[in-house]
Amino acid sequence: MAEKRDYSIGEVYQGGYSTLDPKKNEYFTGYNATAGSIGLTTNPQATFKLSSDFSTKLSSGVKHMELALVSPKFFDNTPKQELKEVTRLAKLTGSEVSVHAPVMDSAGMSRDGWSESYREMAETKITDYIDRSHEVNPTGNTTVVFHTSDGIPASTWETLGNENEKRKAKKLLVIDRESGRGIIPLEKETLYYPDLAELKEETISKLNSGTLKPEQITPQHYKKTNLAEGTTFSPERRLQSQNRTQWDNEMKKILFEAEAAEKTLRMVNPIFREKYALLRSKNLDPSTLSSSEMEEIKKVHFAAEHIEEASLHLKNSFSKAYKLFKEDGNQEAMNELTRLSDSYKNNLGINDPKSLRSFDPQIQSNAITNFVDTLSGIIPTQFVSLEEFATEKSSQTFGNAAFNAYDKLGDKTPIIAIENPPATEFALSTGEDLRNLVVASRKQFAKRLVSEKGIGKKEADKIAEKHIGATWDVGHINMLRAQGFNEKDIIKESEKIAPYLKHVHLSDNFGLEHTELPMGMGNVPMKEIMEKLGQKGFEAKKIAEAGEWWQIMQKPPIVESFEGLGSPIYTDGVGPFWNQTAGFQQGYMGGYGQMLPTTHFTQLYGAGFSSVSLPKELGGRVGGGAGGRMGGGRE
């Protein structure tokens, strides 16, 4: 008795297509994209042969091409004649061209940390890349893709947050925003302190928002703590502590010098402080003083040196605080510092040129101590997350580069489409990060349009919105899976960037490594992502970036992309679709291929519907030799 096999005829023959069931093929992502909206990239190493590679890719039938000039060296090695030839070919074939500019850091980071000179250098390069990309389409708005960052490490997240809740970090990378150096990793930590008192969550929120001052905290603002359980400090809480500790240390430096002066002054008769002040103001002739008086005055001078050091620390700390609050746009804190400054000058008697108060170390010490008592409670944010810092600096770069281009090219300025890099590998890789950078870059661009071109704010915002947007790489965001996030989280991140979308990059992977396969070969939730991207996602050009496919298969992934995205074969949009071709042609995804003996099953018995594969009785042809003895029959 024959062994029973667990298979169906559908596993051998997939069947013909049906417009009523356009979802055949296990590689189909569930999202249907028109063939005209899908494009390819050129070989990133084809510089002197760029136009030849461009022409070869066009011959596959795509109507959109992206010049993959992802290396600064390769971009500079691309002759201007090659870009002109690309322009000619695009015009001849009616195709559209976008440019993937070199992957580089836009914030101004280097191995030594951040510097403004590095940021300005990045701005110069990006402006040049935009200018050269304009040559590809001098009469239109070329889309130019830039990564948000390159080489900047990323924080890792416990939750990604939403409109009602901020995301929470698993490991938060922070940086000293004043110096741009000293990246510090902060992770969750449980501490066991004998005198530990943990603030309530609402207390922390009020402190962060400024509705509660540190000096207003009472015992009711603390939780009841259990020493055995300890207190867990989140990375965000540790960042707050980092800023407070840094500020407290600066205040201690000032007070240390003031207290050293006080210790010396307590051993000196006040009359010699007055004589010291008279000497400093040149109202006393030193020759009239005895040697014993001069010895006492030297002690006062020694105390004054400590006061001078305390004053120097105070000025530096005050300047830092004012600068940071100004960068944050915190006008309330700036006003408070201004009032404190006025009070300090009055206490020193600076506004009264006849007064000796500013020469008296004791009065100076008292003024400094009172100043620090208030200043210690006005805590600036010196340490911030690396994402926040990079967003601030990169937005200056992109906003200024857009302004530079617009000042030269006007309405023909290329579109800057900022792309999310591979998640977990580089900073600014989530939907929230990309959204924040696009918004900040538009704001910087519009600000300069208003201040330097005299354009109204409403019109400036409109121009900025047109020329700065986002490129969403579906494969890059899928790498959040490596941090433990699931499909729903990835879809939500896509929803965050939808209003700012200009361009889409397509590549599939399994979320753990930065690989690039044609869509449908990994676990990127393409259908759900595109649904969240909405109309802008539908209208955007979708560029297939299948780097691993190029390397392994040595051919364009165009057919595979059409199959994975269910593109209609005919231009009228009616089926069959490319994902249904498994039933009548055997491509890479087409099933088992030619597995049956050709002569018997194809020519004699018929396994297809062409004249060469039908049986002879149904009009098929059975080939024979050229009239030889064993040549076989004829029709």
What local confidence, expressed as pLDDT, does residue 341 receive? 94
User: Per-domain residue ranges for the chain?
Assistant: 26-151+385-583, 156-238, 245-381, 598-635
**Residue 615 CA: distances (Å) to CA of 111, 584, 605, 618, 621:** 73, 18, 5, 5, 7
**Residues facing 67 on adjacent strands:** 99
Name the more confident of 314 and 199: 314
Give the tokens for residue 270: 């006040």
What local confidence, expressed as pLDDT, does residue 120 receive? 97
**CATH, domain range 26-151+385-583:** 3.20.20.150
What local confidence, expressed as pLDDT, does residue 288 receive? 83
What local confidence, expressed as pLDDT, does residue 401 receive? 98
Lowest average pLDDT, out of 22-26, 297-301, 418-422, goes to 22-26
**Residue 295 CA: distances (Å) to CA of 269, 276, 289:** 12, 11, 10
Any residues with CB less than 8 A from the CB of 247 and at least 6 apart, and which?
A: 376, 379, 380, 382
pLDDT above 60: residue 423: yes
The whole-number average pLDDT for the span 316-323 is: 96
Q: How confident is the model at residue 480 (pLDDT cuts 50, 70, 90)?
A: very high
Helices (H), 350-385: 361-375
Q: How confident is the model at residue 126 (pLDDT cuts 50, 70, 90)?
A: very high
What local confidence, expressed as pLDDT, does residue 10 receive? 53
DSSP 5: P
Distance of CA 87 to the CA centre of its chain: 31
pLDDT digit string, tens, across residues 155-167 = 999 999 888 888 9
Q: How confident is the model at residue 173 (pLDDT cuts 50, 70, 90)?
A: very high
Q: How confident is the model at residue 492 (pLDDT cuts 50, 70, 90)?
A: very high
pLDDT above 60: residue 618: no
Name the more confident of 385 and 362: 385
pLDDT above 90: residue 275: no
What local confidence, expressed as pLDDT, does residue 60 receive? 81
Give the tokens for residue 412: 């023909």
Q: How many CA atoms lie within 13 A of 631 on its CB side?
A: 9
pLDDT digit string, tens, across residues 441-474 = 999 999 999 999 999 999 999 999 999 999 999 9
Q: How confident is the model at residue 498 (pLDDT cuts 50, 70, 90)?
A: very high
Share of the chain above pLDDT 70, in %: 83
The H-or-E segment that residue 296 falls in is helix 291-328
The whole-number average pLDDT for the span 492-497 is: 96
Packing angle of the helix pair 201-209, 235-265 (nearest 10 deg) = 70
The whole-number average pLDDT for the span 28-36 is: 87
Q: Following DSSP, what letter does each residue of 195-215 receive, concatenated?
A: T--PBPHHHHHHHHHTSS-GG
Cα-based angle 104, 108, 109 (whole degrees, multiple of 5)? 85
The whole-number average pLDDT for the span 566-585 is: 73
Radius of gyration of the chain (CA): 35
Name the more confident of 156 and 613: 156
| Rounded CA separation 159/74 (Å) | 39
What local confidence, expressed as pLDDT, does residue 592 receive? 47
The whole-number average pLDDT for the span 494-498 is: 96
Q: Provide the mean pLDDT of the chain.
A: 85
Closest CA to 129 of 416, 393, 408, 391: 416
| Rounded CA separation 347/363 (Å) | 8
Total Cβ atoms within 10 A of residue 113? 15
What local confidence, expressed as pLDDT, does residue 112 receive? 83
Measure the CA dihedral 585/588/592/593, to 10°: 50
| 50 burial level (CB within 10 Å; 0-12, 13-18, 19+) | buried
Cα-based angle 159, 164, 167 (whole degrees, multiple of 5)? 25
Total Cβ atoms within 10 A of residue 313? 20
